[in-house]
Amino acid sequence: MTAEAASVPGQIRTAGSRGQPDARPVCNLSMLTHNHLSSLHAENAPLAEANRIARRGARRGQWLLHPTDFALRAGERAVLTGPSGSGKSVFLRALALLDPLDGGEVRWHGEAVSRSRMVHYRRHVAYLRQRPALLDGSVEDNLRYPYTLAVYRDAQFDAARARAFFAAAGRASDFLSRDASDLSGGEAQIVALVRVLQLDPEALLLDEPTASLDPESVRAVEALVAGWFDQARTARATVWVSHDPAQAQRVGARHLTMREGMLEEPAARAAYAQGAAP
Ligand SMILES: Nc1ncnc2c1ncn2[C@@H]1O[C@H](COP(=O)(O)OP(=O)(O)OP(=O)(O)O)[C@@H](O)[C@H]1O
């Protein structure tokens, strides 16, 4: 994690944490020129940042996600836990700008993501859903599909690289030609993950990617994500939703919890309580 001590506690502020001090870095703006500001902004800006993002149920208007601040910095591996139905998926999908927000905004490297840049943003901050949706056809067809979309027109499918991903996940060299409809749940999840990884996102938002997988597939998925992260640790980040405490320890260095649509970071609160944060 590259976050400065000053920025960590202030990274989350939800309706549930009102009244806590906001420890966002403070500087005397009058001392800085515009150019200074621009370069500081670019260097220090989180990879992805949510400012008061909120979601409400369409019919009853109840809070699904209370107004939430969150910053994900390059190099971070965050893990999100919380009871079923507490809003973990709602939060990740909101952060990925997959569902319309009922408030707030998302910034990418310090810039607000406009409607016209949303598809571009989703390319770099990718959400992997719990239940993979594969297309009819072969594994290779599924991997080729994203390259048919306009947003990936500058990229090309690389079969050798795809084989290397599958080899790292313990799959045989003919795996690309397997029919997607014949795959097990674990294999389908591996395909869905490789389909995302080959596109070189900066951040992966992983929504229980190993739920109901056998231990071997769990290890394969974890190894694939770890390998992708290690290739560019200072430029990549993950948020991983898990119900498994042992997995949470393995895949995340920063621990977040969700409770009734309110995101909290217990370690940051403890740091406040102990006076460790500035
Ligand atoms: N589009 C929507 N409209 C209305 N309610 C929704 C919508 N999406 C999710 N919800 C509700 O929001 C709550 C949180 O759902 P969410 O899927 O985020 O939970 P979760 O914490 O990810 O649960 P799990 O651990 O079981 O996956 C649930 O009560 C769900 O029914």
Q: Is 4 inside any structural domain? A: no
pLDDT 10s digits, 139-160: 999 999 999 999 999 999 999 9
The secondary structure of 255-268, three-state, reads EEEEECCEEECHHH
The secondary structure of the chain, three-state, reads CCCCCCCCHHHCEEHHHCCCCCCCCCCCHHHCCHHHHHHHHHHHCCCEEEEEEEEECCCCCCEEEEEEEEEECCCCEEEEECCCCCCHHHHHHHHCCCCCCCEEEEEECCEECCHHHHHHHHHHEEEECCCCCCCCCEHHHHHHHHHHCHHHCCCCCCHHHHHHHHHHCCCCHHHHHCEHHHCCHHHHHHHHHHHHHCCCCCEEEEECCCCCCCHHHHHHHHHHHHHHHHHCCCCCEEEEECCCHHHHHHHCCEEEEEECCEEECHHHHHHHHCCCCC
ipTM higher than threshold 0.90? yes
**From the CB of 47, is ligand 1 less than 6 Å away?**
no
Q: Is 93 inside any structural domain? A: yes
Nearest to 183 by CA among 156, 228, 220, 208: 220
Question: From the alpha carbon of 258, which atom of ligand 1 is closest?
Answer: 21
Q: Is 190 inside any structural domain? A: yes
135 Cβ contact list (under 8 Å, min separation 6): 141, 142, 145, 180
Query: Considering the chain, what percentage of its residues have pLDDT values greater than 70?
Result: 81
Residue 23 Cα, ligand 1 centroid: separation in angstroms?
Answer: 30
What is the total count of domains within the chain?
1
Q: Closest Cα to atom 1, ligand 1: which residue?
A: 57
Q: Closest Cα to atom 7, ligand 1: which residue?
A: 57
**From the CB of 11, is ligand 1 less than 6 Å away?**
no
Residue numbers of the domain that contains 55:
9-273
Q: Is 251 inside any structural domain? A: yes
pLDDT 10s digits, 15-56: 433 333 333 333 333 333 334 434 444 568 999 999 999 999
User: Whole-angstrom Cα distance, residue 233 to residue 236?
Assistant: 6
Q: Is 278 inside any structural domain? A: no
Are 20 and 14 a contacting pair, CB within 8 Å?
A: no
Q: Is 1 inside any structural domain? A: no
**Is the confidence at residue 276, as pLDDT, over 50?**
yes
Confidence of residue 14 (pLDDT cuts 50, 70, 90): very low
Q: Buried (b) or exposed (e) across 18-32, using 16+ Cβ within 10 A?
A: eebeebeeeeeeeee
pLDDT 10s digits, 158-210: 999 999 999 998 888 899 999 999 999 889 999 999 999 999 999 999 999 99
| CATH code of the domain covering residue 268 | 3.40.50.300
Q: Is 80 inside any structural domain? A: yes
**From the CB of 85, is ligand 1 less than 6 Å away?**
yes
Question: From the alpha carbon of 90, which atom of ligand 1 is closest?
Answer: 18
Are 206 and 126 a contacting pair, CB within 8 Å?
A: no
Return the residue matching tokens 């500087």.
27
Q: Is 32 inside any structural domain? A: yes
**From the CB of 261, is ligand 1 less than 6 Å away?**
no
**From the CB of 84, is ligand 1 less than 6 Å away?**
yes
